[in-house]
Amino acid sequence: MKKEFCIEDGCYQVKCRLFFGDEDSVDHVVLCCHGFAGTKESRASTLLAERILSKCPGTVVVTFDWPCHGKDAQRELKSDVCCTYMGLMVKYLLEKYPGRALYLYATSFGAYLTLRYIHENGNPFRKIVLRSPAVNMYDVLTKNIISPDDLAVLQKGQDVLAGFARKVQISNRFCDELRAFDATQIDYSMFADAILVIHGTSDEIVPIDAVFSFVKKNSTSFIPVEGADHRFIDPGQMEVVIKETLAFFGLPCASEVKGTR
């Protein structure tokens, strides 16, 4: 089952979606963060949520819209407000499910924001899976998402629309914020045991070389998926992501739960 809800805090309204079985019997909570120009209804998050619910009783999955994405009402995309949203999600989940283990699955831009959040606030998650992480988000945006013409417009102080099937309005200020926080220059080795990176060898948006350098520098777990693109469009390759995510999270599957009763 699924339902939508909203977390309100001052001027912020975070639009969320909850995937659940028995909401009164929750032992594990998985937070999913979509990528740039995505939404809380993303294909990858929905597939993962459905698989978790079918295999791991006692687990709920929560997705949400980043600022200026999906149904969010913010007028300007700012990376610090994105991290505020992440903080509101963590606070809400820890209060609603006290004592439960919290996990995170994040894609691309969502993975970049996750890295910024844990650098600035510490890691509240038992395990983190980063799929196609845009560790060098400034370069990814300015070289592989925005056209040269739009980049020139941005540099003149005008906003442009950027993205894929869906577009998000961005400003030069936002690009400056991304340039100011380069995850490739941060030491995440203290979080290494909690992080798994999954990346396609044919990623056309986030080059695997940058991700491999990040993994090597920080000694995180790493699974390259041969031939996979940025979105893992091939169903078989997405199955690898789901399988490895569930294994890394270590969530009890239905057969294990049944066997303990």
* CATH number of the domain bearing residue 35: 3.40.50.1820
pLDDT of res. 22: 82
Helix (H) or strand (E) holding 121: helix 109-121
Residue 50 lies in a domain: yes
Both tokens of 137, joined, read 């988000």
The boundaries of the domain holding residue 129 are 2-135+187-259
Answering whether pTM is above 0.75, one says yes
Residue 202 lies in a domain: yes
The pLDDT confidence band at residue 139, using thresholds 50, 70 and 90, is very high
Both tokens of 207, joined, read 């080059």
In DSSP terms, which residues pair with 18 in a beta bridge? Answer: 3, 62
Model confidence at 203: pLDDT above 80: yes
Sign of CA dihedral 159, 115, 38, 130: positive
Residue 179 lies in a domain: no
Instruction: Please tell me the total count of domains within the chain.
Output: 1
Sign of CA dihedral 218, 135, 48, 73: positive
In angstroms, the CA 7 to CA 14 distance is 5
Residue 160 lies in a domain: no
Distance of CA 92 to the CA centre of its chain: 17
Residue 172 lies in a domain: no
Kindly state the DSSP code that residue 253 receives in the 8-state scheme: P
Asked whether 223 and 216 are in contact (CB, 8 A), the reply is no
Residue 9 lies in a domain: yes
The pLDDT confidence band at residue 210, using thresholds 50, 70 and 90, is very high
Asked whether 18 and 60 are in contact (CB, 8 A), the reply is yes
Residue 221 lies in a domain: yes
Model confidence at 255: pLDDT above 80: no
pLDDT of res. 254: 57
The pLDDT confidence band at residue 260, using thresholds 50, 70 and 90, is very low
Of all residues in the chain, the percent with pLDDT exceeding 70 is 97
Sorted by sequence, the CB contacts under 8 Å of residue 219 that are 6+ apart come out as 189, 192
Tens-place pLDDT, residues 97-127: 999 999 999 999 999 999 999 999 999 999 9
**Residue 56, phi then psi, degrees to nearest 5:** -125, 85
Residue 209 lies in a domain: yes
pLDDT of res. 86: 99
Tens-place pLDDT, residues 11-40: 999 999 999 998 788 999 999 999 999 999
In angstroms, the CA 204 to CA 113 distance is 20
